[in-house]
Structure 1
Amino acid sequence: MTSFRQEHDAFGPVDIPADRYWGAQTARAAAIFTVGDERFPTVLIQAFGLQKRAAARANRRLGVLDPALADAIEDAAEEVRTGLFDDHFPLTVWQTGSGTQTNMNANEVIANRANERLGQPLGTRAPVHPNDHVNRSQSSNDSFPTVMHLVTALELRDRMRPALLRLGDALHAKAEAFAGVVKIGRTHLMDAVPMSVGQSFDAYARQIEAGLARLDGAMPRLCALPQGGTAVGTGLNAPKGFAAAFCEEAAAIAGLALTPNPSKFEGMGAHDALVEVSGHLNTLAVSLVRIANDIRLLGSGPRAGLGELIIPDDGLTSSIMPGKRNPTIAEVVVQTAFQAMGNHATVTAAGAAGTFELNVAKPVLIHNLLRAIRLLSDAARLFADRMIEGLEVDRDRLAANVEGSLLLATALNPAIGYDRAAAVTRKAMAEGTTPREAAIALGYLTGEDYDGLVRPAEMVSNEEGADWQPPPLRG
């Protein structure tokens, strides 16, 4: 049976499981907020460890926290940052809109662990007090949004950026590998003029590169922190210089270029920087849907579809059709992108929830933003590793499609004019022949003349007439 200890706060005694490091406020919140089971990802909890550690350093540096207590808090906070206490944060996302309960959860875990390190039993609240010491110079109102910024910046740097670089590189490698493979381009889902398979993949690589550049461009605003604003943005109860000292200490721990937000009121009442990041993730999701759908359509078949791409075998098959292979990875990518688009809708609404000096939808905002980052990062890496890396082209199918394409007649426009070229296309379509055969039958050109004018491999060259090669990515 579970044993309990009794803790006291300003509102009286509370029973808490004896082996848990949270305190009275967390226990009260867990009993009140009984909605859903969605919890913050552990990266947010660990970012709280970073935030509390930096705050303890800044408080000690400014002389408002006893060095011995600061050391104990810093050590305990570092343990939270490294994930040692992930299981001691029981609250769901659905709590006060300022995130007060999760901030207090962090204060209590760190205070209890600091006291334990100083030889005291859990629940003593002395010599380290969760409010007086761990939360010194802070409020939930500036601490929680600071953590929101920190965790988002870290996740973009450490999770999303490497995944997008991997996907961009994989797409670029295919652009180079398929640069000389001619295919028929398609507009309105219908045959158009020739291009190379490599040019298609270069377009995909550019979309990912642009998505990464957008996210990189948002980082300076993401790294401007509201810490130091305390309750409403004025900095009440924080010593002079706390915001700058905090950012310097947090930057040293996180390896980020962190700066104080010059308007703590903006940083606490509005979360436009986070909405901006979510918007860029939404754009990235749109790009991924386009790329994944193109690839699964170009690989459709293998015998009754387009069949121009050969999709790597993932070892999975149908429950009823033996040996059937499906573009499962692309379907996963599309579904995660749809979820990220929905996450952005929630982030947008939550970002608009700022009233006067406080946005009161912080938990749901960061929950959805972090979920989108995780899903899109994982999907991008899976896409690169399990599909793009192994893609091949069916050269015979592509060559046959090019040879029979009606729109090769477009190259005849300068020689015989648009109307005669259109007549060639109509005749070839009506009679099921090639444009070459139709042009000869109509008496517009000899076979030799046609072959001299219609050279599919040259039709994919750039404007200078040189053989096309994908330019390097800038990422």
Structure 2
Amino acid sequence: MTNNTDFRIERDSMGDRQIPNHVYYGIQTQRAIENFPISGIKPLSTYIDAGILIKKATAIVNGQLGCIPNDISHAIIQATDEVLNGKLRDQFVVDIYQAGAGTSHHMNINEVLANRALEILGDEKGNYKRVNPNDHVNYGQSTNDVIPTCIRIGGLLALTHTLHPALEKAISTLESKGDEFQHIIKSGRTHLQDAVPVRLGENFRAWAQILTEHQNRLYIAASDLMVLGIGGSAAGTGMNTHPEYRKRVVEVLSELLEMPLEPAPHLMAAMQSMGAFVNVSGAVRNLAQDMVKISHDLRLMDSGPKTGFKEIQLPPVQPGSSIMPGKYNPVMAEMTSMVCFQVMGYDQAIALAAQAGQLELNVMMPLIAYNLIHSIEILGSTIAALTTSCIQGIMANEERCLAYAEGSLALVTALNPHIGYLNAAAVAKESLETGKSLRQIVLDKGLMTEAQLAQVLNLDEMSAIVPILFC
């Protein structure tokens, strides 16, 4: 009921509260605001979308099954469409560190949709006799089955819209750079020491292959997210749901998302285990680990310009020092490592939260939801930024690469089959001590002829990838 133009009075099982009349959330959201002034971090946009899509699907199905009146069903559906199109986004206000299982965020959604549905029907916000957040928007549902489903859909949306597109562009760009740099020979390095020569292009092709394999792992892990426990209600029994509700909601969600979703074979299992989220998080963490390796490689190869490798030039995107003029730093690669470290930390928190469930429910789901979706999105945004602002503009220092390759003592490896390991080791040692070239020492010792050396120390052949023969 309306108290005055500024506030309305809402009531729940614990009593009354004044609610600012302009807001669309209600009394349970207000209590959550008061109870959880923790981080100031509000729910992720993708997580909101996931919850709203669930509410749209359930309103459609409950209306079709006659569980809620058609006019209310249509009003709720219209409200969900408005939110999905960008309206009322500022009404989802509960801190991510909140009541266990996500009840506060869930009721925030229910209340916003109920109050907007009331307006659509020509009624006042807060008149829950007409449209009730629990009895209508939440009909046949519980936080305990909605939030796990919300995490699944949020994860799928984040992967589809952010991480997979970023990976595809990164892979394509790395492969293009592989083609561009394929003719350039450089010194390989193992243990950060000189190793046999390699092609610069193959470095980039290797990174492309690494990311391709990670993307495949992500697709496999994400298949777990397509199995939904919606319909389990409070404890996985499906209490207070229509017999056709579970199947139909999954079908509608499949249409809305254009994804092959399916009902979980055991609703209790889907509610209790966070294994699907740990699995996806692990795949994201695994990708992050290799992204750190790639970003560190880029920094090493660009180190200098006078006292480092400087085999490549990363695009300078901003001045690198507040005191040293003309300095440019590999900031995109540095940023990539920092984000990846954060993703690894989120993964550890997810693992701890996943094991903390008891009996029929895991109450740590709000932490899992934020960490998982945020990890996917920040890693996707990072890879996209690294690709656009760094990898695409990399230039090769061909002369520096060749000089390192020709001066590497590791070239002696090619002599092993011809003069033996001990002779090759002696030649390398003498070269290091005297500064003479490997070629000159071998000739001086009469170990090989000039013609033989020209054939054996051919950098083009030495750096070529040996083809794989399939029998």
Structure 2 length as normaliser, TM-score? 0.96
Output aligned runs, 1:210-289, within 5 Å: 210-289=213-292
Deviations 1:294-327 (A, max 9, x none): 0110110011101111111213231010010110
SS of the residue 2:48 aligns to: helix
Amino acid at match of 2:230: Q
Output aligned runs, 1:31-50, within 5 Å: 31-50=34-53
Q: CA deviation at 1:2?
A: 9.4
Match of 2:331 in 1: 328
Is 2:347 the counterpart of 1:344?
Answer: yes
Match of 2:315 in 1: 312
Amino acid at match of 1:51: I
Deviations 1:418-451 (A, max 9, x none): 2211221111111112111111122212333211
Amino acid at match of 1:17: P
Match of 1:52 in 2: 55
Deviations 1:18-38 (A, max 9, x none): 110001111122222232322
Shift in CA distance, 152/409, structure 1 to aligned 2, threshold 3 Å: same
Deviations 1:185-238 (A, max 9, x none): 111110011110111111111111111111111222101111000000000000
Q: CA deviation at 1:464?
A: 4.1
SS of the residue 2:390 aligns to: helix
Query: Using the alignment, how far apart are the partners of 1:465 and 1:152 within structure 2?
Result: 38
Match of 1:471 in 2: none
Is the Cα–Cα contact under 8 Å of residues 175 and 205 in structure 2 kept in the other structure?
yes
Q: CA deviation at 1:86?
A: 1.3
Q: CA deviation at 1:10?
A: 3.2
Q: CA deviation at 1:463?
A: 2.5
Structure 1 window deviating more from structure 2 (381-390 vs 35-44): it is 35-44
Match for residue 191 of structure 1 among 190, 194, 200: 194
Structure 2 residue runs without a partner (length 5+): none
Match for residue 386 of structure 1 among 384, 389, 398: 389
Query: Using the alignment, how far apart are the partners of 2:381 and 2:427 within structure 1?
Result: 50
Match of 1:204 in 2: 207
Match of 1:3 in 2: 6
SS of the residue 1:185 aligns to: strand
Query: Using the alignment, how far apart are the partners of 2:31 and 2:205 within structure 1?
Result: 56
RMSD between superposed Cα atoms in Å: 1.6
Match of 1:123 in 2: 126
Aligned pair count? 466
Match for residue 32 of structure 2 among 13, 23, 29: 29
Q: CA deviation at 1:8?
A: 2.3
Match for residue 152 of structure 1 among 155, 166, 170: 155
Query: Using the alignment, how far apart are the partners of 1:79 and 1:126 within structure 2?
Result: 23
Structure 1 residue runs without a partner (length 5+): 467-475
Query: Using the alignment, how far apart are the partners of 1:134 and 1:307 within structure 2?
Result: 61
Query: Using the alignment, how far apart are the partners of 2:268 and 2:9 within structure 1?
Result: 39
Query: Using the alignment, how far apart are the partners of 1:245 and 1:464 within structure 2?
Result: 53
Structure 1 length as normaliser, TM-score? 0.95
Query: Using the alignment, how far apart are the partners of 1:275 and 1:100 within structure 2?
Result: 21
Query: Using the alignment, how far apart are the partners of 1:331 and 1:307 within structure 2?
Result: 17
Query: Using the alignment, how far apart are the partners of 2:179 and 2:365 within structure 1?
Result: 45
Q: CA deviation at 1:376?
A: 0.5
Is the Cα–Cα contact under 8 Å of residues 281 and 373 in structure 1 kept in the other structure?
yes
Query: Using the alignment, how far apart are the partners of 1:465 and 1:193 within structure 2?
Result: 19
Match of 2:405 in 1: 402
Is the Cα–Cα contact under 8 Å of residues 164 and 212 in structure 1 kept in the other structure?
yes
SS of the residue 2:87 aligns to: coil
Moved over 4 A (4+): none
Query: Using the alignment, how far apart are the partners of 1:462 and 1:376 within structure 2?
Result: 32
Output aligned runs, 1:430-441, within 5 Å: 430-441=433-444
Structure 1 window deviating more from structure 2 (400-409 vs 329-338): it is 400-409
SS of the residue 1:100 aligns to: helix
Q: CA deviation at 1:403?
A: 1.5
Is 2:426 the counterpart of 1:426?
Answer: no
Is the Cα–Cα contact under 8 Å of residues 187 and 402 in structure 2 kept in the other structure?
no
Is the Cα–Cα contact under 8 Å of residues 48 and 81 in structure 1 kept in the other structure?
no
